[in-house]
Amino acid sequence: MTAVLPAPTDRDVYTEQHHALRTRVRAFLAEEVVPEYPGWRSAGSPSRRFWQRAGEIGILGIGIPEEYGGRSDTGFRDSAVVTEEIQRLGLAIGGLRVQTDICVPYLLHAASERQRKHWLPRLAAGETVAALGISEPGAGSDVKAMQTRAIRDGDHYVVNGAKTFISNGSIADLLILAAKTDPGRRRDGISLLLVDTHTPGFHTGRKLSKLGLEAQDLAELSFADMRVPADALLGEEGAGFRYLSTNLAAERLSIAVNSQAAASAAIGWTIERLAGTKPGQDVKFTIAGCAAQVAAGQALIDRAMTRLIAGTLSGGEAAAAKLYCTELQGRVVRSCLPLFPPGEAYRASSLIGQAHLDGRVSRIYGGSSEIMKVIISHDLGLSS
């Protein structure tokens, strides 16, 4: 099995530093997260204690320079290690990746020194939870169509509008908010604001009930004459769409890593479940076919990570990784599910059953599979 699905220690993309991190994360998840996880599913989000402990053991400091309270010499591969270990146990803690892989890079690349000093140490320590506010009720994938407005009024912006499907939305202390500061300029009129969620006029709406991802917070937000200080502007006014686009390749690769790890975990659980039995040829062939596909996905992921670290990962390559691995996740879990006894696979406590529900949305968020195909076709020179 190792020859087909290499162990992490056999993958060239990881170093001894990453293997040491994996050992610490695996122990943390097994000893502190797994016992609490059923309560998170009931509550609809991880406990605040989780964020504090994740900060204490260094998970939330990944990618953040030491001068801001983070861990030096860490980056995307460290986040990938954490993701792989989370999926190995069948946990849904996507809000963690939202903070480390999506929100933190905006602060690193576009924030002022004052903003970095204020927010990054709090994020690294787990004192602050971050969310990204883009999606709106009437403007899902079309960012340019957003209706939330942030109109300059002296030394403040007055914000009105609403967001939906916001991961970490109900627990966030910091919202990186996309809003139109110049509505007439479409995408060139979008800006990003760093919003303290305790600001008057900030309202948290419903926690959204989901098909799967029960322990991951998802909420509606609204803003009614919310006054945000002008110095909370992230980077340049009108540059929000450019900032949102800059990190898309890494965000999509993060989703791909999660899906790849989920597919690999599903095969592992299935083989463990069949241990001591004599599976028929059809079962063997099903697992063999899944294993070959997962091995191909792993090669694609490791190549993409190497190119991301080198600064050469293209949008088309990231889209290809997301397309392949998220679709792979669905195929593999769907193939493994019938290999478990029905009385086991369809129980709420079933890892494989929950994985079937949790995995469906990965083909939608971060850009649907259809959008990924559009990007790949453009990269191939097939644009009209």
**pLDDT value for 1:** 47
Length of the chain: 384
**pLDDT value for 138:** 80
Query: Which part of the chain has CATH 1.20.140.10?
Result: 247-379
CATH class of 8-128: mainly alpha
Structure tokens at 356: 């079937």
CATH fold label, 131-238: Butyryl-CoA Dehydrogenase, subunit A; domain 2 (2.40.110)
Q: What is the dihedral of CA 156, 223, 176, 143, to 10 degrees?
A: -110
Compute the distance between CA of residue 92 and CA of residue 357 in angstroms, rounded to an integer: 11
Cα distances (Å, whole numbers) of residue 330 to 267, 302, 326, 361, 363:
12, 20, 7, 10, 9
N-to-C CA span, the chain? 45
Structure tokens at 146: 């957003």
Q: What is the dihedral of CA 39, 44, 49, 52, to 10 degrees?
A: 150
Name 160's bridge partners.
149
| 190-196 vs 233-234, strand pairing mode | antiparallel
3-state SS track over 57-92: CCHHHCCCCHHHCCCCCCCHHHHHHHHHHHHHCCCC
pLDDT averaged over consecutive 10-residue blocks of the chain (384 residues)?
A: 75 94 96 96 94 96 96 93 97 94 96 98 98 87 86 97 95 97 91 98 92 92 98 97 92 96 96 91 96 96 96 95 98 95 84 93 92 94 78
Q: Which residues neighbour 219 within 8 Å (Cβ) at sequence distance 6 or greater?
A: 166, 169, 170, 204, 205, 206, 207, 208
Which of 282, 185, 169 minimizes the C-alpha distance to 221?
A: 169
Helices (H), 29-168: 37-43, 48-56, 76-88, 94-97, 104-110, 113-125
Compute the distance between CA of residue 262 and CA of residue 358 in angstroms, rounded to an integer: 10
Query: Which part of the chain has CATH 2.40.110.10?
Result: 131-238
In a 3-state reduction of DSSP, which class is residue 354?
A: helix
CATH fold label, 247-379: Butyryl-CoA Dehydrogenase, subunit A; domain 3 (1.20.140)
| 130-133 vs 174-180, strand pairing mode | parallel
Q: Which residues neighbour 212 within 8 Å (Cβ) at sequence distance 6 or greater?
A: 92, 354, 356, 357, 358, 359, 360, 361
109 φ, ψ (degrees, to nearest 5): -95, -25
**pLDDT value for 211:** 86
Question: If you search the block for the tokens 């059953």, which residue do you land on?
Answer: 353
Answer for the pair 239, 346: CB distance below 8 angstroms, yes or no. Answer: no
Cα 271 to chain center, whole Å?
28
251 assigned to active site:
yes
Task: Tell me whether residue 243 is exposed, middle or buried, using C-beta atoms within 10 angstroms of its C-beta: 0 to 12, 13 to 18, 19 or more.
Answer: buried
Compute the distance between CA of residue 124 and CA of residue 226 in angstroms, rounded to an integer: 27
| Catalytic site residue from 214, 220, 251, 327 | 251
**pLDDT value for 8:** 86
**pLDDT value for 201:** 98
Q: Which residues neighbour 340 within 8 Å (Cβ) at sequence distance 6 or greater?
A: 270, 273, 350, 352, 353
- Give the global pTM: 0.93
**pLDDT value for 209:** 86
Which of 53, 56, 83 minimizes the C-alpha distance to 69?
A: 56
Query: Which part of the chain has CATH 1.10.540.10?
Result: 8-128
